[in-house]
Amino acid sequence: MDTIVEWLQANIDKITLLIGVTIAAALLAEITSRLLRKVLERSQVPNASIFINLTRLTIWLFAAALVLRPVFGINPATIITALGVGGLALSLGMQDTIANVVGGFALMIGKVVVPGDIITVSGITGTIKDITWRQTVISERGGNELVVPNSVLNRSLLERVTPAAESCAIVPFTAKAGRGTADVSRRIIAAVQRATADIADPAIAPLVNFTGFTPYGVEGKVLLFARPGVALGTVCDAAVRALADADFIEQGAEAQA
């Protein structure tokens, strides 16, 4: 017990410095993060956690450098030298991490994509939720979250999708010959509106496009727009059921998202 008391008395200055720097770094990191988030929200710079996380990391590295010599007796220059010697081996072992960090900055600084964008990548469509230092989180319409490494996203073919296109469901049909297109269009719109009244976007009316003629009749497709949070398959199913038994449809409708 006496040994512990003597050690505490001998190192009270170091312990106080360590605790003080730790508390100061934690407070500074929290305050800086909140201020930076507000600044990013009001500026044209995309608001993504990659900037905030790297700022927090810089603060903690600076705090560690302050206490290395006085508390632990370690010269920061020694660590920097050691990192320089082992930098090649470290970079080889962290190729994926470095590529993800660089890829994240490339995506954000170049404004290739920003949080809130709707994109299609590898056949999957969703809204970018966040871009971190390592990965991009994409929220799909059904609620699932797709996590894509930044390096992969930076090399992939991306397609920006407008909100209206992202919610669009397409149902092809073939109308019987001999009926006027205006009459067919009116009846199709009335049928699908009744069937999708609770799940379709009320701000965008269904559209009917005629694409050509076949021996069976006039081909076309009806475009419907789902409400936010409603799966496209649900809208497609309701529209197909509404047209399946219509007397002016020659062939059964098939849905496409």
In eight-state DSSP terms, residue 148 is E
- How far is Cα 257 from Cα 252, in angstroms, rounded to an integer? 17
pLDDT at residue 27, rounded to an integer: 92
Residue with tokens 């200055």: 13
- How far is Cα 198 from Cα 205, in angstroms, rounded to an integer? 13
Residue with tokens 């269009």: 185
Rg from Cα positions in the chain: 30
What length is written for the chain?
A: 257
Residue with tokens 């220059």: 77
- How far is Cα 55 from Cα 82, in angstroms, rounded to an integer? 24
Q: Is residue 171 a contact partner of residue 221, using CB atoms and an 8 Å limit?
A: yes
pLDDT digits (tens, 9 = 90+) for 107-156: 777 777 878 888 888 778 888 888 887 788 888 876 788 888 888 887 77
pLDDT digits (tens, 9 = 90+) for 63-95: 888 888 887 777 777 766 666 655 555 555 566
Mean pLDDT across the stretch 209-230? Answer: 85
In the predicted model, is pLDDT for residue 193 greater than 70?
Answer: yes
Q: Which domains can be identified in the chain, with CATH numbers?
A: 2-85 (no CATH), 99-161 (2.30.30.60), 164-251 (3.30.300.330)
Mean pLDDT across the stretch 222-232? Answer: 84
pLDDT at residue 44, rounded to an integer: 58
In the predicted model, is pLDDT for residue 203 greater than 50?
Answer: yes
In the predicted model, is pLDDT for residue 225 greater than 80?
Answer: yes
pLDDT digits (tens, 9 = 90+) for 9-61: 777 888 888 888 899 989 998 898 888 877 776 765 555 677 787 888 888 88
Residue with tokens 């005629």: 210
pLDDT digits (tens, 9 = 90+) for 142-190: 678 888 888 888 777 788 887 777 788 888 888 887 777 888 888 888 9
Alpha helices, H only, the chain:
2-42, 49-72, 76-85, 87-93, 95-109, 150-155, 163-166, 181-195, 232-244
- The pTM is what? 0.50
